[in-house]
Amino acid sequence: MLAKLDRLLAQADIKLSLEQKQQLIDFVKLLDKWNKAYNLTSVRDPNEMLIKHILDSLVVSKHLQGSHFIDVGTGPGLPGIPLAIANPDKQFVLLDSLGKRITFIKNAIRELKLTNVEPVLSRAEEFQETQFDGVLSRAFASLNDMVDWCYHLPNQNGRFYALKGIYQSEEIEQITCPIELLEVIPLQVPDLVGERHLIVLKK
């Protein structure tokens, strides 16, 4: 699996230490193991997880600005855990409303010895803690719902980072909160079939 990860990272021009790569592989193994009982992801093959979960999360890393992020509707920790592994200098809050996902994340944090991840069991609209440099979401509702439910989370200069498949401009037009579209970034995920985009918004 390390050889495959090495190849994918090289194709995506992402440089990580051997320890970081091992953490990513260990995370995939944990996800695979827990998935059998907890049904955390529809992706069953660990090699597919490397592409669809790990690389799909990591390609966003270079676009993040700031040091304090929240991943809303994180599921089993995506993109939060791969990003936290790749960015040990940044802090990540992983938010989900489903207990079994947070239980898995707590276990993963312990097993992977991550010190920059805080799991929180809550709905986005009810979580009123700190304000963040970035609000991340992957496969999360519509853009309008994301902005609406999370509008209180970014700080003054904070950004929304929405990981999407095909970019549809009408989704932007449907946002009801005051918002500015900063950029739409096509993402290249090695070996992945289908389009990926990062949509960056600001209050």
State the binding site for S-adenosyl-L-methionine.
73, 78, 124-125, 138
Say if residue 189 is exposed, middle or buried (CB neighbours under 10 Å; 0-12, 13-18, 19+): buried
Binding residues: 73, 78, 124-125, 138
d(CA 51, CA 60): 13
Two structure tokens written together for 79: 């993109």
Two structure tokens written together for 46: 């660990």
Give DSSP secondary structure letters for 66-103: SSEEEEET-TTTTTHHHHHHH-TTSEEEEEES-HHHHH
> What is the 3-state composition of the chain as percent helix, strand, coil, each rounded to the nearest 5?
40, 25, 35
CA distances from 30 to 15, 49, 76, 104 (A): 23, 11, 10, 9
For residue 79, whether the previous peptide bond is cis, meaning omega lies within 30 degrees of 0, is yes
Q: Is 172 left (phi over 0), alpha (psi -120 to 50) or beta?
A: alpha
